[in-house]
A and B are shown apart, each in its own frame.
Chain A
Amino acid sequence: MISLRRVWTVAERDIKMFLRYKFLLIMRAIWFVAQIALFGLVVNQMFRQDVQNAVGGSYFNYYTAGIIITMLYSTAVFIGYDIYEEADHGVIEYLLSVPVSRKELVLGRSIGGGLRSFLYVGPMMLFVLYIIGVSNVLQLLAAMSSLFLFTFGVAGFSITVAVSIKSSDRFDILMGVTDALIVRLSTTLYPVAYMPPYYKGLASVNPLSFAADLFRWGAGLESAALTPPLLATFGIVAFFSLFTFLGIVLHERRLEGGGWQ
């Protein structure tokens, strides 16, 4: 029987912990500003009108919405790095010894990892929504609830990878490569209309594409979306379920103290 109180207690710990990494938070915020105010604006000037039309009228709007999704992804992934920090100090053993089931631990960490990413990116998201101009609040709220699940799924994915490989160096490299592939093979930064067919195939099953499409749909940029909202929501639910399930299985069957590199 899963106790929501215990799940929340675990999640709360991860949220508080994240807020202590002030340096990281400031640097990520600077990165966001640089992406929007420098890269986004300049690249937007480079695109012809037909390109702008293909992304719903403004590449800048398309791009800023995509950057929000990459921010959500990269901050939710951070929970995996937390796990290595904890393994380094033996805190993993401590967490495995407290009266919380492995299911509650994984769920709590996925929710905590996702929620903190949402809380952190929240103000930037509001800023981007202000720039784009939201036309339908209900549509936006529907998209947001799916994005919550998306961040929980990303955190679950990061936890699953972290406890599977138990090596911080490998994790770091793997997440770098994954980030490069998963972001670039998605519709976060460029529209599907300009992708080669084989890229398009991969982008159409990429959870980042689902999240980016849903966010744009919620913000009223639906003409630029690759996947219909319902299908994108389904994709995100499947992504979240898969990695939460894998995380639970790994924690229950394989995870034990020691052996971290």
Chain B
Amino acid sequence: MAPIIQIVKLTKKFGNFTAVDHLNLEVEEGEILGILGPNGAGKTTTLLMLTTVIKPTEGTALIGPYDVTREPDKARTLIGMAFQEPKLLWVDAPWDILNWHAKVCGLSAEERKKKVRWVLEELELWNDRFKSVHTFSGGMRKRVEIAKILIQRPKIAIVDEPTAQIDIVGKHRIWNMLRDLREEGSTILLATNELYEADVLSDRVAIMHRGKLLVCDEPKKLKDNIPGGDVVEITLDKAVPKETIEKLKEIRRVVNVSAIKEDYLKIYLNNAEEVLPKITEFFMEAHIPIKSIRMSEPSLDDVFAHYTGLTIEEAQRE
């Protein structure tokens, strides 16, 4: 099946600054693709080009069968976007904003009434539906913004940092609503700089930095592909001889072993779930009883650091 989004050499320059640099990416129908990167990585610019809000300097993207540069009107019929910064006027009230959005997306009066009420109740905005957004907190405004997508239920939903400024309970509620949206057949493009959000929500994660796509794959594969990305910390009942450590290094997928103390080792390896039984067996055969084992997986931050040499935080500061 052809991908629902095909991005080909997509480039956007603002004067001498290249915000997005020859981006190539395909998005499969029905998947949640997380676009991860620090602020300024080019995520939002990419999304704005896909929604035809800004025009590419070079390259293009196909939204379903429609080219964003040649058939932007048709491309927009498949897309709905929740922006990073809520796009609301101070005189607006949530009820009017969402009603108008539903209307412009072609929902009938009956559907509008039903869906607007549903989403306002789900996002705990029902009691404030006629209040001016001027009086709202950042989190409430953000909920109004995300509500547009939830009412529209587009073929392709583009969400830019959907849970920024939202409390943890609200985050989980929105994540579940996005998952439901996907279950109903929407493809979701999620731009975020929150590692956990990208990890728990995305089927695949595309990592961007300085306008370029560094890598795109399933979160687990990305983490597994970092050499020595998994860490197993083992405390043993007695000191481990140097030759045993050397033999331990010979186990397949073990990248490095560091003796923090005589009886405490840090083993850097890939695919820890597969290798861990071999390690326990190794120590049993060596007659060195294990007191405790602690395993930690690499995070997407480690993946980002692997490709850029910087953590996301460092890249943000940069």
A91 adjacent to B91 (CB under 8 Å): no
Q: Which of B90-116 contact A (CB under 8 A)?
A: 90-91, 96, 100-101, 103-106
From A10, A17, A94, A258, give the contact of B54 (CB < 8 A): A258
Contacting chain B: which of A26-34, A98-106, A222-230?
A: A98-106
A96 nearest in chain B by CB position: B53
Contact with A along B23-51 (1 / 0, CB 8 A): 00000000000000000000000001001
B52 adjacent to A90 (CB under 8 Å): no
A99 adjacent to B106 (CB under 8 Å): yes
Cα(A132)–Cα(B306), bound, Å: 81
Which chain B residues lie closer than 8 Å to A184 at the CB level? Answer: none
Cα(A98)–Cα(B96), bound, Å: 16
Q: Is A256 an interface residue (CB 8 A)?
A: yes
Q: Is B55 an interface residue (CB 8 A)?
A: yes
From A9, A89, A101, give the contact of B90 (CB < 8 A): A89
Q: Is A145 an interface residue (CB 8 A)?
A: no
Which chain A residues lie closer than 8 Å to B53 at the CB level? Answer: 93, 96-97, 256-257
Contact with B along A50-94 (1 / 0, CB 8 A): 000000000000000000000000000000000001100111011
A102 adjacent to B73 (CB under 8 Å): yes
Contact with B along A239-261 (1 / 0, CB 8 A): 00000000000000000111000
Given A96-B52, A97-B52, A256-B55, residue A17 in contact with residue B83 (CB < 8 A): no
Per the CB 8 Å criterion, the residue count for chain A at the interface is 26
A100 nearest in chain B by CB position: B104
Q: Nearest Cβ in chain A — how far from B184, in angstroms?
A: 18
Contact with A along B282-302 (1 / 0, CB 8 A): 000000000000000000000
Contact with A along B252-296 (1 / 0, CB 8 A): 000000000000000000000000000000000000000000000
Cα(A256)–Cα(B101), bound, Å: 20
Which chain B residues lie closer than 8 Å to A86 at the CB level? Answer: 89
Q: Is A13 an interface residue (CB 8 A)?
A: yes
Which chain B residues lie closer than 8 Å to A9 at the CB level? Answer: 100, 103-104
B77 adjacent to A99 (CB under 8 Å): yes
Q: Which of A1-24 contact B (CB under 8 A)?
A: 6, 9-10, 12-13, 16-17, 20-21
A85 adjacent to B73 (CB under 8 Å): no
Cα(A258)–Cα(B106), bound, Å: 27
Cα(A10)–Cα(B103), bound, Å: 10
Which chain A residues lie closer than 8 Å to B90 at the CB level? Answer: 89
Given A9-B100, A99-B77, residue A93 in contact with residue B48 (CB < 8 A): yes
Which chain A residues lie closer than 8 Å to B172 at the CB level? Answer: none
B105 adjacent to A99 (CB under 8 Å): yes
Which chain A residues lie closer than 8 Å to B54 at the CB level? Answer: 256-258
Q: Nearest Cβ in chain B — how far from A12, in angstroms?
A: 8
A91 adjacent to B73 (CB under 8 Å): no
Given A96-B52, A97-B53, A102-B73, residue A89 in contact with residue B89 (CB < 8 A): yes
Cα(A12)–Cα(B104), bound, Å: 11
B105 adjacent to A90 (CB under 8 Å): no
Contact with B along A187-211 (1 / 0, CB 8 A): 0000000000000000000000000
Which chain A residues lie closer than 8 Å to B85 at the CB level? Answer: 90
Given A10-B104, A16-B96, residue A97 in contact with residue B91 (CB < 8 A): no
Q: Is B240 an interface residue (CB 8 A)?
A: no
Q: Which of A101-137 contact B (CB under 8 A)?
A: 101-102
A99 adjacent to B76 (CB under 8 Å): yes
B104 adjacent to A94 (CB under 8 Å): no
Which chain A residues lie closer than 8 Å to B88 at the CB level? Answer: 89, 91
A97 adjacent to B89 (CB under 8 Å): no
Which chain A residues lie closer than 8 Å to B55 at the CB level? Answer: 256
Interchain residue pairs with CB less than 8 A apart (16): A10-B104, A21-B91, A89-B88, A89-B89, A91-B88, A96-B51, A97-B83, A98-B76, A98-B104, A99-B73, A99-B77, A99-B79, A99-B104, A99-B105, A100-B76, A102-B73
Other A-B contacts than A17-B91, A97-B52, A256-B54, 5 sampled, CB-CB below 8 A, are A89-B88, A89-B90, A96-B52, A98-B104, A98-B105
Which 10 pairs from chain A and chain B are nearest by CB?
A94-B87, A257-B53, A101-B73, A20-B91, A256-B54, A97-B51, A90-B87, A96-B53, A99-B77, A99-B76
Chain B residues with a Cβ under 8 A of chain A: 48, 51-55, 72-73, 76-77, 79-81, 83, 85, 87-91, 96, 100-101, 103-106
